[in-house]
Amino acid sequence: MTEIPEHLLKRSKERREAASGGASSDSGTSTPATTSTAPAVAKPTTPVVASTPAPKPDPIYVVAAKTRRKIPFWAMATLSLLPLWAFLYLIALKPQEKEVEGPMAIGAAVADSTKPVLAIVGDGGWLFTVAEMAAAIDEGINMVMVLWDNRGYAQIRESFDDVQAPRMGVDVSSHDPSAIARGFGWNAVDVTTIEAFSTALAAAFEHRGAHFIRISVS
């Protein structure tokens, strides 16, 4: 405990009496006042946080890049294939020789009589469009038709054989395709060997008109 000086206590008492308008009732000594020596408890203080400066605005070109419409991710695959599409387009522009058969070959000969036309058909398929041979003569075309005669539908016949099924409707009746071609006005010849076929084919392209070469396969 710490003792307070007498003159300070007296001065404090006089000021209190003067403030209250009363006289002092005790002129003697007063009980000395004491103060507590307990350590003062510090009050918690709110930490001061420094304010961060506002971010600078983005430049105009950055704002434009952020707001523009983006290319969809699926479009990247299409764009990567553009060189391939361009290559295929250039190939498509180049004229190529066409391989046709039957009536389509007759149509090609009618469209351009300055180029040689060769049609290769089978005896079974040829019977489906045999009437077109008359149209070829009527149009006065120049072409060579080679007939592979194996006396039936060999492709379908082999399909039956592959699955060990009985053949049905694949062995057609025997006929004379060369005689039919001559009846329509074609120049017809029969061959059975590679040498004979080469000679007949060369002779057919040397002469104008409709030529029919039958390759007989036993």
Mean pLDDT across the chain, nearest whole number?
78
The yes-or-no verdict on residue 33 having pLDDT over 70 is no
Could you give the 3-state DSSP secondary structure of residue 144?
A: strand
Question: Can you give the pLDDT at residue 111?
Answer: 80
CA distance readout (Å), 183 to 59, 105, 160, 172? 89, 20, 34, 21
Q: Residue 25's pLDDT band (boundaries 50, 70, 90)?
A: very low
Domains of the chain: 103-216 (3.40.50.970)
* Phi (first) and psi of residue 183, to 5 degrees: -65, -30
Task: Supply the pTM of this predicted model.
Answer: 0.51
Element (DSSP H or E) covering residue 156: helix 154-162
Q: Residue 55's pLDDT band (boundaries 50, 70, 90)?
A: confident
Per residue in 89-124, pLDDT (tens digit) is 877 776 655 555 556 777 888 787 788 888 888 888
Element (DSSP H or E) covering residue 71: none
Question: Can you give the pLDDT at residue 27?
Answer: 46
The yes-or-no verdict on residue 40 having pLDDT over 80 is no
